[in-house]
Amino acid sequence: MNLKSASARAADWLVAHQRADGALPSRTPVVESCYKGMWSLHVAGHTQAAMRVADYVGSLLQADGDIPQPREERFFLDVHYLYANGYLTIGAHILGRFDLSAKLMSFVETMQNPVTGGFRSHGPGVPGDGRCDSVSTSISGLAALYTGRLAVAKSAAEFVHALWKNQPDPDTAFHAVTDSEGRVLTSEDAVAVAVRKAEGDWYFIGLPCLFLTALHEATGEQKHLDLAVELMDYMDQRCNEDAFLDSSCGKAGVAAAMLHRLTGTPRYREIAEQIGELLASRQSAHGYWAEEETADVSELDWSDLDMTAEYVLWLDLIGRNLAGAVRPGAGAR
């Protein structure tokens, strides 16, 4: 299956249904339906549509660089608030909308724990205890990498290294959250992926893997590649097969494609191809992705637009990395 054509078809659908104000269509006009739009439409070649998304984002941007509203999904408020902010920062930056990316990244930086390097899970408007998590930290670290804040990105990576090192029972669960002092939280109110079961939030592992791989490529520091490989092998060998089948597996697919390019490991190519083909096979006849297919755009939820924009991006990045030459000197693991 041609990953690029599936990505392009979905991007064409997004552009065809983009609203006059630049927002992407969903039942409710919320950040969650648009935050991946700039990055996704840019890589798909729809730069003018991406600029219209940027204009819409700019209309929501506060003076401090945050976009606290409109949001409706709990995870975007008090589980991984910065997930949206990170994508917005990267998308604006690669689009050349530095008027947005500079402000967005400045806000993101204020949310970093100066001791652990982690990024705060709760938004500034939500009472919180200073906890940090693997998703908020990894997307913020990736945004820092894209915007040239290498020290910020390296500090974020140290949080991920410590989080993995201190996992109490990795063969049962991946605990994704720490308290403000870096202690891994195992309480019921902290995200944990039950790795022996299906339907987990696998991106709490897949996104750190992607971030560390990218950071290694930027810095040449071997420890980041080593941990990225360890996390990929963890998902492949010690987690439920759903890690590469669930709708949240796209980030692992991109990481696997990058790891194949960097290490030459055949298994990573297999994982990337499997995930890419799986995502492409789930595309609706209309071109978008959704939990429930419908011809009526007004019935689509923010999560359907989120999924569509994300898969436009991931299919492009998987295909792009698999097409790249394996790094000279890379050896199969």
Report if residue 85 sits inside a domain: yes
- Per-residue pLDDT reduced to its tens digit, 139-159: 999 999 999 999 999 999 999
Which runs of E-coded beta strand occur in the chain? 132-133, 173-175, 177-178, 192-194
Q: Is 291's pLDDT higher than 90? A: no
pTM listed for this prediction: 0.96
In a domain, 155, yes or no: yes
Residue with tokens 């969650």: 32
Percent of the chain residues past pLDDT 90, beyond the cut = 89
Tens of pLDDT, residue by residue over 91-139, are 999 999 999 999 999 999 999 999 999 999 999 988 889 999 999 999 9
Q: Is residue 167 part of a domain?
A: yes
pLDDT range class, residue 179, cuts 50, 70, 90: very high
328 domain-assigned: no
Q: Could you list the residue range(s) of the whole structural domain that residue 54 is in?
A: 3-287+300-320
CA separation, residue 251 to residues 43, 52, 206, 208, 317 (Å): 16, 26, 5, 9, 10
Residue reference for tokens 């840019």: 42
Cβ pair 176, 135 in contact under 8 A: yes
What pLDDT digit, counting tens, does each position of 58-92 carry? Answer: 999 999 999 999 998 989 999 999 999 999 999 99
Average pLDDT over residues 269-280: 98
Q: Is residue 327 part of a domain?
A: no
Q: What is the CATH number of the domain that holds 33?
A: 1.50.10.10
Would 325 be classed as within a structural domain?
A: no
Counted domains in the chain: 1
- The two three-digit tokens of residue 185, written as one number: 């939280």
Residue 93 forms part of a structural domain = yes
* 292 domain residue, yes or no: no
- Written as six digits, the tokens of 10 are 């979905």
For residue 127, what pLDDT is reported? 80
Question: How confident is the prediction for the chain on average, in pLDDT?
Answer: 96
